[in-house]
Amino acid sequence: MKPHHFKWTKFYESNLDFPYSGIQLALTENELIICSTFIDADNYSILTTQRLITKENGQTNSGSIEGAKDKMYGDFKGYQDKLFTFGQISLHNGTDLKYFIETGKASMVMIYGVRTLIGTHQMTNAQVEKKTRIRNRQNE
């Protein structure tokens, strides 16, 4: 299944690929949109290179990924009956932030996006460069 076949979840190669023009993100310089689960205008999560933004039932919450930790990746028991679940991270200040995860194969986009971004924020520049070289060799 190709990613463009997912109902609500997408990942982006550039900010220009983000199709939801009605959403005001106020991105900072060099902040890139990585992926999103967009159910409707009042229910979505967007992961950028700097933060996680979730709007649930019209209430927006966001937080910096810097210093965040994974808390949980959602409840997938009986997921055949549910179209989405929630993941959760713990922010640097100790508050928890939920994010939407589309169930099924699409779930890996948000889960790996959040997990990878938190992991790279915990690494030194040298570690990130080394990991990039290893992945590039594996993809040759």
pTM listed for this prediction: 0.84
Q: How confident is the model at residue 1 (pLDDT cuts 50, 70, 90)?
A: very low
What is the set of domains in the chain, with CATH numbers? 3-138 (2.30.29)
Q: What angle do CA 55, 6, 61 make, to 5 degrees?
A: 10
Identify which of 50, 56, 57, 60 has the alpha carbon closest to the alpha carbon of residue 24. 60
Give the distance, in angstroms, between the CA of residue 116 and the centroid of all CA atoms in the same chain.
9
pLDDT in tens, 63-120: 999 989 888 776 666 556 788 989 999 999 999 999 999 988 888 899 889 988 888 8
- What's the rounded mean pLDDT across residues 10-35? 89
